[in-house]
Amino acid sequence: MAQIIATSPLAQPMPELGSVRGVRLQAMAAGIRYKGRTDLVLAEFIPGTTVAGVFTQSKCPGAPVDWCRAILPGGQARALVVNAGNANVFTGRAGRETCESTARAAAELAGCTPEQVYLASTGVIGEILPAERITKALPELHEALSETGWADAARGIMTTDTFPKAAVRTAMLGGVEVVIQGMAKGSGMIAPDMATMLGFVATDAALPAPVLQALLSAGVKKTFNCITVDSDTSTSDMVLLFATGAAGNAPLPTTSPATSPENAIDSPELADFRAALNDVLHTLALMVIRDGEGATKLMTISVSGAVSDASAWRVGMAIGNSPLVKTAIAGEDANWGRIVMAVGKCGEPADRDTLSVSIGGVCIARNGTVTDGYDETPVVAHMKGQEIDIAVDLGLGNGSARVWSCDLTHGYIDINGSYRS
């Protein structure tokens, strides 16, 4: 069993969660790896629920990722099974068979086909996931399903997380108020390149799967794809978005541009829903960084003046991933030279003589040298806080991006050095 880790100093309290019409869920202790804590979650969705998903870009994905990718084109979901403690990664045929038996067992309980059951696993890589512990527990778990099981479920998907992560918003869609509620887990092995380790969001809105997919993919790009703890992309990353349709909002008119996935991210009809969904995704993503393994400080890195938005993103991630920048932040050292180093090493267009660097709103360097009259005092004070703001202007174009990271402390080594013990 992994060691008990103190709650992150950046932790945020669990918001007051309600229900999402058309969703029932619950968690229980199935003894998959942990003792004395919940580690298995089951959610059931009403018939007609549509689904969208984004998955890790790792070339060595887990069996559940392969399973979900294969069934996603069907666009329908009736159940979700998540286990913590064992990632079911690099487990060969046994891993695939566990997915198949789990999906069959959940499908029988939900009254659907296995291809409507989504699976996710998180935990140790390379150990066989005992399917019987899951399938044996599912009937009891199904009996306990509740519309108010969200908080228990958020705790049930945790591994090295020190606090559960959840968010809820409301929006107007088709003249009806709809709910968007989600949970996530993640603390280490976070450099998503698609999402975070695991994230599950549900809404009672009625939206077709292609539109849902367009909204999720666009939202993830500016949220989960802009966070990093340690530059390591998990084998198990996924974010799933379920829409039950139970709110009863009118279907999008067939003549509406919003019915086209290409137009969904800009359509006025979806503006309020899109903003609320993005807010949920953003809130969950920042909670992951706040729970970064060993983290004591949250870094917000804003990059402007790049040749493109994509280039600005890569510069920002290079800063956020730099061990030298991260340790300087941990040590409360305003060593802006390390930021310059990170900009210069990442392979993106940059010019020393147009570069500007600011920390805590104070411009430290401009046009290739230290700002005249620079006083480090307010920057030093800023470095002592829990939230650190870094801004870089490359002075080359109009590209911009914002990414989030955390400091690197000895706590990260302690947690990962004993992860399997």
Annotated binding site for substrate: 159, 185, 196, 293, 416, 421
Tokens of 387: 């939230």
For residue 260, what is the enclosing H or E element? none
Would residue 50 show up in a list of annotated catalytic residues for this protein?
Answer: no
What angle, 0 to 180 degrees and rounded to 10, lies between the N-to-C axes of helices 323-330 and 309-321? Answer: 60
At 370 the three-state DSSP class reads strand
Tokens of 406: 């955390």
Strands (E) located in 139-197: 165-173, 176-185
Tokens of 358: 């600011």
Give the separation between CA 398 and CA 287, rounded to whole angstroms: 29
Asked whether 201 and 241 are in contact (CB, 8 A), the reply is: yes
Burial class (CB in 10 A: 0-12, 13-18, 19+), 176: middle
Give the separation between CA 27 and CA 154, rounded to whole angstroms: 9
At 397 the three-state DSSP class reads coil
Give the separation between CA 171 and CA 166, rounded to whole angstroms: 17
For residue 380, what is the enclosing H or E element? helix 377-383
Tokens of 265: 């991210």
Choice among 196, 203, 244, 283 that is catalytic: 196
Give the helix, strand, coil percentages of the chain, each rounded to 5: 35, 25, 40
Give the separation between CA 248 and CA 250, rounded to whole angstroms: 6
Label residues 93-130 b or e (16+ Cβ within 10 Å = b): eebeebbeebbebbbebbebebbbbbbbbbbbbebebb
Numbered residues of the known binding site: 159, 185, 196, 293, 416, 421
Burial class (CB in 10 A: 0-12, 13-18, 19+), 402: middle
| β-pairing verdict for 79-86 and 40-45 | antiparallel
Which residues are part of the catalytic machinery? 196
